[in-house]
Amino acid sequence: MDALNFLFVNLREAITTWLAGFLPMWAANAVVHFGVGLILLFVGLGSVLVLTLGERKVIGRFQDRLGPNRWGPWGILTPVADGIKMLTKEDIVPQGADYWVHLLAPICIIIPAVLIYAVLPFGEGAWGTDLNIGILYIVAVASVGTIAALMAGWSSNNKYSLLGAFRVVAQLISYEIPMLLSIVAVVLLTGSMSMVEIVRQQSVPHLITMPLVFFVYMVAAFAELYRAPFDMIEADSELVAGFFTEYSGMKFVMFFMSEYFNLFAMSAVITTLFLGGWRGPILPGYVWFFVKCGAVIFFFWWVRSMIPRIRIDHLLNLAWKFLVPLALVNLMVVALVDKLVADGLVQNIALLLANIIVAIVVIGVLALSGRKTRSKRLQRITSQS
């Protein structure tokens, strides 16, 4: 089993040793690092092919239909057909658009989505690089996507694209705050921002010990990925297609690919922060990692097919009036427990109990607030009649 768990470590060392036989060591390391980068790129491209087909198949089943089934057996060649179709479409730039900004926007949104893969730990030794600020690197790189979306909407000379871009900025900034506070809670507990060290510190997955922190992060993740029910930035009934309305051909494909690059990357980050990463019994670590990622991705698909889109004002109110205060409370609770209780089983139990108490209080406050709101509405209706 150790041979399987350390498969990628042993393989990298073997290739490096073989190359060092006829190349300088620096050149051998450079070739190996370049190869690792290509592998990570192909992992991202493969995730796009698998996830596009998988999402359409799964949502089709939820909606009592077959999903794509024309190209290849069981429709498995549909992503290839879609790619060929997009390659043959004309690239149209709207009249009056800012050409260079319009051109650079899809490039600026796809590059950060690819760079995130460099620090994702797929298994023991199966990562591009182990930065001691790995999670900070992910947050910093991912924030570039907001600028790219604003560039796309602003440069298109289209009011629907511009409104979609404004929604991007409002939504992503609003939900980045509770997401970052949840990340800080995990970093505070593990004592490291390294993605690898965060996994190694999880003797018990943080999903079990900090379910409320996971809840806040998960809700924020839906908004950060533009996934339903938080896909207001590309609401087809209001904005045609949002900030990329005026894009076609390969430029549109780059926006489309970035969405699925980010979906897999976000699932990998959730797996790392809250589900114990590659840790698990019997099976090799990288198998556990992809199984957990698959479960998270399936949950994203499930929610998309189950919950309708909400209004933009409700979306922003949820972030500022509920998630941000709850994330601050979660952070304070984690800090107190980490300070007062020693590491180990007792700390895990204390964290879980504290989360349960906070959840009960939050449910009580929400119930009381809802009762007051309904009472005010009833009084208003009664006074009008």
pLDDT at residue 2, as a whole number: 64
Report whether 269 contacts 190 (CB < 8 A): no
- Give the pLDDT band of residue 234 (cuts 50, 70, 90): low
Q: Output the CA angle 119-120-123, nearest 5 degrees.
A: 120
Choice among 130-144, 173-187, 238-252 with the minimum mean pLDDT: 238-252
Q: What percent of the chain has pLDDT over 90?
A: 26
**Gap between the Cα atoms of 5 and 41, Å rounded:** 22
Q: What residue spans define the domains of the chain?
A: 88-340
User: Quick one: pLDDT at residue 376?
Assistant: 79
pLDDT at residue 1 greater than cutoff 60: no
If you average pLDDT over residues 178-198, what whole number do you get?
Answer: 92
pLDDT value at 133 more than 70: yes
Tens of pLDDT, residues 270-287: 999 999 888 888 888 888
Give me the DSSP letters along 68-120: --SSSGGGTTHHHHHHHHHHTS-----TT--HHHHHHHHHHHHHHHHHGGGG-
pLDDT at 180: 93
Lowest mean pLDDT across 34-38, 194-198, 217-221, 371-375: 371-375
pLDDT at 385: 63
Could you tell me the pTM of the whole model? 0.90
The CA distance from 116 to 135, in Å, is: 10
Pick the closest to residue 359 from 311, 325, 326 (CA basis): 326
Is the pLDDT at 235 greater than 70? The verdict is: no
Q: Which of 27-41, 188-202, 286-300, 326-340 has the lowest mean pLDDT?
A: 27-41
The answer to whether residues 122 and 271 touch, using CB atoms and an 8 Å cutoff, is no
* Per-residue pLDDT at 139 exceeds 60: yes
Mean pLDDT of 322-348: 88
168 and 146 in contact (C-beta within 8 Å)?
yes
Mean predicted confidence (pLDDT) in 255-266 = 90
